[in-house]
Structure 1
Amino acid sequence: MKNENNAAAKWTANILMLLISLVVIFPIVALLISSFQPSANLMRQGISFNVNWSEMSFNNYNYIFTSAPQYWTWYTNSVIISGLTIVLSLFFSSMVGYALAVYEFKGKNLFFVFVLLILMIPFEILMLPLYQMMVSWGITDSYIAVVLPLIVAPVAVFFFRQYAGGLPLELMDAARIDGSTEYGIFFKIMLPLMGPSLAAMAILQGLASWNNFLWPLLVIRSNNMFTLPIGLATLLTPYGNNYDVLIAGSVLTFVPIVILFIFFQKYFVEGLTSGGVKG
């Protein structure tokens, strides 16, 4: 009876996951199919599965690769900003989280409370003072203005602190006996052990940066500095909608995130679920 109940629960869970997957995949498939339709059909019918398969073609993608240079400028900007955000966020956030986890110093707990408080404050509330800082420093309309507020993310600091708290501290003592510096211990010993957490946070931070719309919209002013979300939004205007670029371009925005996940997928679940290194 117990085995039958377990089998029934397993089948129920599988069916539920399948239904959820279909709900998530449905709009993506609709967008993909629509990207092969003529723009005139999209203006009349919108995104739907009611299509004339004989009219499907690669014309929209051909237009993007041959006649839409501005799209690739936006694409490049998004890649650069997301890459900088991932690298700098992992570097600084991991150091802060690691220090909060393994070192004892005055004000440590208070500092961590501040991290938690900032984590609970919506970013939209902080945008105005952050924007005033960018203006006063004269760095608006630049990559650094978009990346700077994100390089020490509270959620990343919290995540790395929890992960580093489970690292074997005996390795630190052994390294100190061998004459290693604290920076050497972190970069040569502890940081490699944090690999799964780095991979998981790289995906999460990369996804957040790639889809970020409001903050770049606030600090970026010139068309040549637009990121993909902002650039694609400008294609919808009261005077006309460029569906040739909008729909097919939206499909192409999936590519970097898919590539990022493929590279780090084997570490993703481990990084989210493991509290440390066992052995």
Structure 2
Amino acid sequence: MTNITSLSFVSLDISGDNYLAWVQDVKLHLGSKKLNDTIKAENKSTAEENFTSIFFLRHHMHEDLKSEYLEVEDPFILWENLKDKFDHQKLVYLPAAENDWAKLRLQDFKSVRAYSSALFKISSRLIMCGEKVTEKRKIDKTLSTFHPNNINLAEMYRERKFTKFGDLLSTLLVAEQNHELVIKNHQSCPTGSAPLPEVNNMSFQQNVRGKGYRGGRGQGRYRGRGRSHGHFRPYNNSGHPKWQSESQSKRKAPRGGKTENICYRCGMDGHWTRNCHTPDHLVKLYQIFSKIKRENGRNKFRQQ
């Protein structure tokens, strides 16, 4: 009972607006049941096949249409009557479909998938109205509606000489996904956002040892400037050995709390310029940064 009451597709409306789509659905269903000959002229279908076919047609029609053709028992006669009544819909839909096809442009859509969906819908309407939409016509329509800024890209695709629209569509989808991936990577890490490289732990230890702490002769003794014999502090705040006299450790600038023994070569504290072992490429980066900082300060002072 469920199979009798349920519809395989939308029934034919009394206005006939869905007649073209309804015809395609009926042909496909009758063909799958091997009943497509029942709606052809001079067919040799059996009585059982004709009854099955006309029952299916009437089951997918509006109630008012069923009443109008109540006495018709031949599926071919019913099919021809409906054709005479609603076949003029092709003349109604064809100009609108051709107008939509003329206005269809790839550059008006945000994605390739949205464009392809609209193209297939318009193509289906043209085919139902009796127009032929070939693969070449779809390809030419797509390549000729690229944005003017991408005209070189369109010519590149044209030189590949696609014969199937599906091949061109898959190529455009892959190119669109790759473009979106590049944009996302750029937005997550824009150009110039990477921090400047810093001195690693090994370089820091070498810089600290370069001041008064060397192997060989006199190891363990302070060999820094002035060779002071005062009290020593074997460790600094970072936990690394830092052999310097108490008098040097107390020398601080009046502002900012920074010590005076700052290296003017690399900008680090804890050693003098003559004992600096910072790599040259880090020294160049610091000097460039200092130069830019000084220039910005001068400009700010002039504006004030």
Q: TM-score range by the shorter chain?
A: under 0.3
Larger helix proportion of the pair:
1
Higher RCO (CA 8 Å, separation ≥ 6 residues): 1
Q: Please report the TM-score for the alignment, with normalisation by the length of structure 1.
A: 0.20
| Higher Cα Rg, which structure | 2
Q: Please report the TM-score for the alignment, with normalisation by the length of structure 2.
A: 0.19
